[in-house]
């Protein structure tokens, strides 16, 4: 009887600890909606996606960038444009028209900007938005 009671107690303790650990790691979710606005050429020059150097050897791995210490930023692009995403002034990724992509941010206050470049030299931007990380943000961008 004691053996059965000890086994039941061990199973209960293990399941309780597992649930608490899973709940402690869950990120809160927030949604941010933005509409595009015209961006001057001077302001757009601050944001430029990196270029590849001809003949340079590319990285074979992306490294371990995601984890519990980073915030996920889900970008839903409803604008119909190709939009470059900048996190804290650094190019992070591009999102295709009417699609979704996930990127990340370091802990603390973050600055998000989206830029669409057009063939006539004009620009449209979204943001800047300054969320505090520690959440999973969904950033919806529209025309």
Q: How far apart are CA 93 and CA 134, in angstroms?
A: 20
**Pseudo-torsion of CA 63, 60, 98, 106, nearest 10°?**
20
pLDDT at 91: 93
Domains of the chain: 27-50+66-142 (2.60.40)
User: pTM for this structure?
Assistant: 0.62
For each of the chain's 143 residues, which pLDDT tens digit applies?
A: 677 666 766 677 666 665 545 555 666 777 878 787 777 777 777 777 666 566 666 555 544 455 666 788 899 999 999 999 999 999 999 999 999 999 888 878 889 999 999 999 899 999 999 887 777 888 999 98
Contact present, 5 and 12 (Cβ < 8 Å) = no
Residue bearing tokens 């302001």: 43
């Amino acid at each position: 009887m004691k053996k059965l009671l000890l086994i039941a107690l061990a199973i209960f303790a293990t399941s309780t600890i597992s649930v608490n650990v899973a709940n402690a790691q869950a990120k809160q979710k927030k949604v941010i909606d933005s509409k595009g606005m015209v961006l001057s050429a001077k302001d757009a020059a601050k944001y430029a996606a990196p270029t590849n150097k001809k003949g340079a050897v590319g990285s074979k791995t992306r490294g371990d960038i995601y984890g519990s210490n980073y915030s996920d930023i889900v970008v839903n692009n409803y604008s119909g444009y190709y939009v470059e995403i900048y996190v804290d002034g650094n190019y992070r990724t591009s999102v295709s028209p009417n699609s979704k992509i996930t990127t990340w941010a370091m802990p603390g206050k973050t600055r998000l900007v989206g830029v669409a470049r057009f063939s006539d030299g004009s620009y449209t931007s979204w943001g800047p938005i300054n969320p505090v990380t520690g959440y999973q943000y969904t950033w919806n961008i529209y025309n």
